[in-house]
Copies of this chain bind each other. A is one copy, B any other.
Amino acid sequence: MAQDAPRSQPTRRERYRAQTIREIKEHALRRLAELGPDGLSLNAIARAMGITGPALYRYYASRDALIEALTDDAYQDLVQTVRTAVDGVPAGEAGNRLRVLMEAFRGWALTQPHRYLLAFKTPLTGTVPPRAATRHANSVVAAILCAVVPHESDTPARFAPEGPGVSLEQERQEQWSTAGSCAGVDGPVPARALLIWSRIHGLVDLEVTGQFSALGLDPSALYCAEAAALIGEPG
């Protein structure tokens, strides 16, 4: 947990270890893309890397730990991609920012569907990820909010009725100092961000899982229609 190195410079070992971890993730993502989430086997990754299975357990405590790390990376990468894309559009052009947001989101998901499914297909319900889920969901909503709330705290309506809004503020300050640069996002999440998220997710998820192609049609026009609809009803 606590790093012994005083953060002056990473030792040779640390660099080597970090590189190995990177290599493990690369192989894992490759197998994930080819074989699907169930085909992800630590043994196979090790074999592909030229080492034996148990060697990987020095880097990840279990198969689930590796999957969790990949999921974390996926959320982070998705959010980062969306953020940089949106940041390329002036804050004044709300409509264009939304369009860019949707295209960035969709593009990321379509170019690496396995990672999108890894992030959103896993039933967080139940017992699987306790805190990570909150962190991930918050990061996505924060990115959307950042993208489309024009100036500052617009917040046309609020959700999160009365009960369990406790652990939210905690999490936000514990783990989310990196989010930053989003003004007026202290209270419950504004409804507009959730609306946008659910519409984007609906389209992207149906497309990624192949439902549209099963129907024999191209959903591009639907994205345009949804973007237009969202711009038309800006809260």
A180 within 8 A of B: no
Is A94 among interface residues, defined by CB-CB distance under 8 A? no
Determine the main DSSP class of A at the interface with B.
helix
Q: Does A72 lie at the interface of the complex (its beta carbon under 8 Å from any beta carbon of B)? A: no
Once the chains are docked, how many angstroms separate the CA of A140 from the CA of B191?
28
Q: Which of B38, B134, B198 contacts A222 (CB 8 A)?
A: B198
- Minimum C-beta distance from A49 to chain B (A): 24
CB under 8 Å from chain B, chain A span 120-171: 120-126, 133-134, 136-138, 140-141, 157, 159-161, 164-168
| Chain B residues within 8 Å of A161, by CB | 217-218
Mask of A169-207 contacts with B, CB within 8 angstroms, 1/0: 000000000000000000011010011011111110110
Given known contacts A201-B205, A214-B134, is B159 in contact with A222 (CB within 8 Å)?
yes
Q: From B138, B160, B195, give the contact of A218 (CB < 8 A).
A: B160
Contacts A189-B215, A198-B226 supplied; 7 other A-B pairs, CB < 8 Å: A125-B210, A134-B215, A159-B221, A164-B216, A189-B217, A201-B206, A229-B229
Chain B residues, CB < 8 A from A197:
202, 206
Copies of this chain, whole number = 2
Which residues of A come within 8 Å of B, CB atoms? 36, 38, 113-114, 117, 120-126, 133-134, 136-138, 140-141, 157, 159-161, 164-168, 188-189, 191, 194-195, 197-203, 205-206, 208-219, 221-222, 225-226, 229, 233
